[in-house]
Amino acid sequence: MSDLRIERVDGDASLRDWRSVHNAVVPTAALSLAEVSERAGRNLLSVARLDGVLVGCSTVRPPGAGAPVATVIARILPPYRRRGLGGMLYGHGLELARELGAEVIETCVLESNPEGLRFALRLGFVETERYVLPGDTVPFIDLRLA
């Protein structure tokens, strides 16, 4: 049986690993190492390894003051999809978000990632908004867990 390990980003090596997965899954919103480091200061970033091989990453944006809404994003590299890994990674992020006091869970998917959108819809998310960031051409889709 395969062993999926989910670890919090801690140090330059895991920041680089998180960045490599993010940039592979969301190429139109690629991040620099400095941007990832900044995100790690305000969000909970994790990497997922299957039998020691990097397969995914996640982001949990904690609820803000006075708003019990958290964002949970799970990203799995294409060769490792459809094995249940995204569900495990998402479940881990959901647990973290709820421990932080989240009552409402949101996620975000790039429109050019139809597998990610189908995954979110299967989990019970519903679309709330589509938008294009300045300078981009591919819309992001915000969803909320129903």
| Residue that has been written with the tokens 């680089």 in this structure | 16
Residue 2 banded pLDDT, cuts 50, 70, 90: low
Q: What b/e sequence results for 88-122 when a residue is b if at least 16 CB atoms lie within 10 Å of its CB, and e otherwise?
A: bbbebbbebbeeeebeebbbbbbeebeebbebbee
- DSSP state for residue 66 in the 8-state scheme: T
Residue 21 banded pLDDT, cuts 50, 70, 90: very high
pTM: predicted TM-score of the whole model, two decimal places? 0.91
Look up residue 96 and give its amino acid. Answer: L
Strands 140-145 and 104-110 come out as antiparallel
What is the side-by-side order of every strand in the sheet holding 4-8? 4-8, 44-50, 53-61, 69-76, 104-110, 140-145, 125-131
The pLDDT value recorded for residue 1 is 46
Q: Roughly what angle, to the nearest 10 degrees, separates helices 12-25 and 33-42?
A: 100
| Residue that has been written with the tokens 């300045």 in this structure | 134
Residue 93 banded pLDDT, cuts 50, 70, 90: very high
The pLDDT value recorded for residue 95 is 96
Average pLDDT over residues 63-90: 92
The rounded distance, in Å, linking the Cα atoms of 62 and 67 is: 10
Average pLDDT over residues 101-124: 91
List of domains in the chain: 4-145 (3.40.630.30)
Do 3 and 50 touch, CB atoms closer than 8 A?
A: yes
Average pLDDT over residues 117-135: 92
Average pLDDT over residues 56-75: 92
Angle at 64 between CA 99 and CA 144, to 5 degrees: 75
